[in-house]
Structure 1
Amino acid sequence: MGKRFEFIHNKIDINRDLLFLLVIGGLYSLGIFLSNTFVNVYLWKQSGDYTTIAVYNLGIFLFQPVTFIVAGKIAKKVDRVIVLRLGVTFLSLFFLCVLIIGEASSKYNFMLGSLLGIGYGFYWLAFNVLTFEITEPETRDFFNGFLGVLQSFGGMIGPLLAGIIIARMEANIGYTTIFSISFTLFILSVVCSFFLNRRKAEGNFHFKRILRERHHNKNWGRILYAHIFQGLREGIFAFVITIWVFLITGSEFSLGMFNLVLSGLSFIFYFVATKFIKIHMRKKAILLGSLLLYFSIFIILFNISYFQLIIYAFFIGIAYPIINVPYVSMTYDVIGKAWKAKDLRVEYIVVRELFVNIGRVASILVFLIAVSLYPAEKVIPILLVLFGTGHIFIYLFIRNVYLGTKRKKEVLIKEQITDEKNR
């Protein structure tokens, strides 16, 4: 009982900015999880081909890293809150465009993906930096823990609620409804951002210097190359599994249930992994999780059914926490020990994002070439087996990362607890 009320007993000072940042993070999570999975299905129902979906996701992954670079530069020149506001505004604009364009959205797939990528870039750069500046060591655990609860709630409830709404409404009224709700949630986020105190910017943006740092810091280089292979898997898995669930069931509600299983198990196992995976176990945990993630692919390659997809969701819901908890911690340990990490943390975050998206873009480009040359139903299973090895290659890089003596560090970013895109 004492631990349960630890924050109350310690009388932690929760300031107004921290509370509003939590509200913004919660609104963002619910808005994204409510609608983003179903945008792929919405476009599929209009076009009926994988190329349209792939080009939409290509737009996201091309513009997200570019925007991270722009946002990082802006964050060193102007108020970080303005950068956050830009991100939420572009996300609102994305859903507004989907509502206005409606049943012609598949014709503007690249433009819509680009808008979403720009929104992601501005939002996450600003949110990560503001997390540093608003939280203190004594409030950081509370902030990260409560934000994780909000994100998990969005990941479990959002897709299921959207699936129920779409299933019970005729034609595309359900899609219009959930996109409208998401648009409203992002408008509320913009309003909340006006209650945050302004954050003065300082310093120059040394992006190229941190990009070159991989040649001087072997650990940093290994982490960046590992992130390329992470992106290779995430690129096509971002949309293929979603489309398969819908094709097998023909039901948005079933897609919502798939995500409920995935997010629910991830929520539980993130807590388990955080408690039991110690520092000396990180590399072994990443290897174990990577093997589990890879071999789970074979559950859905032959005689696929909805039951097999649920079993697949069960396994990856367990595998991702086993990988991500030690992998994220190791990544930020490397950054924490890197050259001028305290002053250049924004640049390190931006460069890391660039390398993840190099892998994602490469994956989708290979996918587009492959489906243009061969029948999609024959080539997609081969691509899943090929790019599914991405997290195994992560282990091959991080196994040679050595951090030396342990020292006190500051966690750089609170990662999302569940990410429906990375299936």
Structure 2
Amino acid sequence: MLRSITKIFLGNVPVTKNLLMLLVIGGLYAVSIALSNTFVNIYLWKQSGEIRDIALYQLASVLLQPPAFLLAGCIAKKADRIYTLRAGVFILTAFFLAVLMAGKNVEDLLLFLGALLGIGFGFYWLGYNVLTFEITEPETRDFFNGFSGLLTSFAGMIGPLSAGFVITWLPESRGYQVIFFLSFFLFMMAVLLSMKMKHRHAKGPVYFKKAAGEIRKNKDWRKILYAHFMQGSREGIFVFIIILWVYTATNSELALGTYGFVTSAVSFLGYFLVGRFLKPVFRKHAIFIGGGLLVASVFIIVFHPVFPLLITYGIVISAAYPLMLVPYVSLTYDVLGKAADAGALRIEYLVTKEWFINSGRAFSIILFLVGTALLPDRIIIPVLMIITGAGHFAAAWCIKNIDTSFIVDRKKVNSGMPENGGGDSVT
């Protein structure tokens, strides 16, 4: 059935068992995160009442992700990338279980919970990214990323709104507990499903030093990494400030769920259109337009974050993100695919990429913590949002001179892909 759905939405794209399995696991992950991750920030903020505590929680998460990616990369190289994906999902189940067990003492465990979340994200996304690189080809990556975005957007439509209803309906913290338990259950389903994916053992030792040397030698790869740092600089603080602003503007979890539903509905349409119709030759144009819209969107809310303007902001960024991220992610994998020994060093390159993006996130959160310690929130937060809000446009600027002519030359790209054939090499 999922095979037929992908053909309806994405055209006549070759669909393999492992691709379907990865999409389903990604879908379960997306639903679980959509149900709970937005409300975890609100739940923690309700306990502490300090935005700096949420920033510290987020900082613990982004600081632990790079070493988690490094460890996950070693495991994937020595054993199997399926193990890292499975371990990531299992650690994320432990995170939600810890939130459930902590109850009203959760304020004392903010750094521990942030660290646990970061480790889970690191393991999960290392495995997911390696599998994505292995099972997609240059001409199918926009399709895969577009459909993956569709699943994420659909999860974003049903997850926050459903969670908002449950939390509003049930008294005190019971609603939060129900939602966190549902996320725990969905992650356990993803763990079980991952056991059906075929194993593929990587060969050779870990060469992080050699992969790091490619940054100096390969200017296109270097530009991609700089772009990911700039992308992370926006994501670091926007990931929690917008959520808190929506909640404080309405004092309603249901309103927060409605915000998630509306924005995800727009995003769903955006991912469908971009994934279905965007051609590789127009990737850079789409990235620049998306990045420009993301910068402009900040000025909608930064000076007067009331709910109607926040909804307008959400609609604009939900249209901009698919336009930016689908071709941007695809371009990242294509540039990686033509790096030196990409087939053998794909894990090392992906770990390097994640170090850059999380460095950007950590930089913006540390900037936020220092800024709010020195100046009043009402002054420094708008300034920081304008500065870091330009991150995606700066990322688009970083990649503007990357040579993309290789995308039309399949042989040149595939020579660096696993098994020299590209595509689903794990079947």
Who is 1:101 aligned against?
Answer: 102
* Number of residues of Structure 1 aligned to a counterpart in Structure 2: 411
Who is 1:347 aligned against?
Answer: 348
String of CA shifts for 1:368-415, please: whole Å, max 9, x gaps: 11111112122111110111111221122111212344311469999x
- Secondary structure of the residue that 1:107 maps to in structure 2? helix
Q: 1:221 to 1:188 in 2, by over 3 A?
A: same
* Code of the aligned partner of 1:321: P
Cα contact 1:13–1:139 (8 A) shared by 2:
no
Cα contact 1:72–1:125 (8 A) shared by 2:
yes
- Secondary structure of the residue that 2:344 maps to in structure 1? coil
- In structure 1, C-alpha distance between the alignment counterparts of 2:399 and 2:274, rounded to whole Å: 18
| 1:160-171 pair list within 5 angstroms | 160-171=161-172
Who is 2:61 aligned against?
Answer: 60
Cα contact 1:261–1:317 (8 A) shared by 2:
no
| 1:207-222 pair list within 5 angstroms | 207-222=208-223
- In structure 2, C-alpha distance between the alignment counterparts of 1:356 and 1:395, rounded to whole Å: 14
| Residue 187 in structure 1 maps to residue 201 in structure 2 | no
- In structure 2, C-alpha distance between the alignment counterparts of 1:242 and 1:5, rounded to whole Å: 32
- In structure 1, C-alpha distance between the alignment counterparts of 2:290 and 2:137, rounded to whole Å: 32
- Secondary structure of the residue that 2:78 maps to in structure 1? coil
* Code of the aligned partner of 2:248: L
Who is 1:114 aligned against?
Answer: 115
Who is 2:332 aligned against?
Answer: 331
| 1:209-288 pair list within 5 angstroms | 209-288=210-289
* Code of the aligned partner of 1:407: D
Q: 1:387 to 1:140 in 2, by over 3 A?
A: closer
- Secondary structure of the residue that 1:230 maps to in structure 2? helix
| Residue 48 in structure 1 maps to residue 49 in structure 2 | yes
String of CA shifts for 1:252-291, please: whole Å, max 9, x gaps: 1111111112211111112222344433433332222222
Deviates more, 1:269-278 or 1:161-170: 269-278
How many angstroms does 1:147 deviate by? 4.3
- Secondary structure of the residue that 1:76 maps to in structure 2? helix
| Residue 379 in structure 1 maps to residue 380 in structure 2 | yes
Q: 1:176 to 1:73 in 2, by over 3 A?
A: same
**More helix, by proportion:** 2
Q: 1:407 to 1:172 in 2, by over 3 A?
A: same
- Secondary structure of the residue that 1:238 maps to in structure 2? helix
Structure 1 stretches lacking a partner, 5+ long: 415-423
Cα contact 2:290–2:324 (8 A) shared by 1:
yes
String of CA shifts for 1:340-377, please: whole Å, max 9, x gaps: 11221111111111100110000000101111111212
Aligned with 1:407 (options 406, 409, 415): 409
String of CA shifts for 1:152-192, please: whole Å, max 9, x gaps: 32121111111111111111111011001111111222222
* Code of the aligned partner of 2:254: F
- Secondary structure of the residue that 2:205 maps to in structure 1? coil
Cα contact 2:138–2:330 (8 A) shared by 1:
no
String of CA shifts for 1:104-162, please: whole Å, max 9, x gaps: 21221111011011111111211233345567999989876664443232121111111
* Code of the aligned partner of 2:357: V
Deviates more, 1:350-359 or 1:279-288: 279-288
- In structure 2, C-alpha distance between the alignment counterparts of 1:389 and 1:18, rounded to whole Å: 34
Q: 1:331 to 1:66 in 2, by over 3 A?
A: same
- In structure 2, C-alpha distance between the alignment counterparts of 1:382 and 1:345, rounded to whole Å: 38
- In structure 1, C-alpha distance between the alignment counterparts of 2:235 and 2:172, rounded to whole Å: 31
- In structure 1, C-alpha distance between the alignment counterparts of 2:201 and 2:193, rounded to whole Å: 19
- In structure 1, C-alpha distance between the alignment counterparts of 2:50 and 2:118, rounded to whole Å: 22
Cα contact 1:296–1:316 (8 A) shared by 2:
yes
Cα contact 1:163–1:253 (8 A) shared by 2:
yes
Who is 1:419 aligned against?
Answer: none
Q: 1:357 to 1:260 in 2, by over 3 A?
A: same
Structure 2 stretches lacking a partner, 5+ long: none
| 1:285-304 pair list within 5 angstroms | 285-304=286-305
* Code of the aligned partner of 1:167: T
How many angstroms does 1:218 deviate by? 0.8
Query: TM-score, normalized by length of structure 1?
Result: 0.89
Who is 2:30 aligned against?
Answer: 29
| Residue 129 in structure 1 maps to residue 108 in structure 2 | no
Q: 1:67 to 1:318 in 2, by over 3 A?
A: same
- Secondary structure of the residue that 1:195 maps to in structure 2? coil
Who is 1:356 aligned against?
Answer: 357
* Code of the aligned partner of 2:283: R
Q: 1:172 to 1:124 in 2, by over 3 A?
A: same
Question: Alignment identity in percent?
Answer: 49
- In structure 2, C-alpha distance between the alignment counterparts of 1:280 and 1:188, rounded to whole Å: 39
String of CA shifts for 1:289-312, please: whole Å, max 9, x gaps: 222111111111233311111000
- In structure 1, C-alpha distance between the alignment counterparts of 2:111 and 2:20, rounded to whole Å: 36
- Secondary structure of the residue that 1:273 maps to in structure 2? helix
* Code of the aligned partner of 2:237: I
- In structure 2, C-alpha distance between the alignment counterparts of 1:284 and 1:109, rounded to whole Å: 41
- In structure 1, C-alpha distance between the alignment counterparts of 2:404 and 2:139, rounded to whole Å: 26
* Code of the aligned partner of 1:341: A
Cα contact 2:145–2:275 (8 A) shared by 1:
no
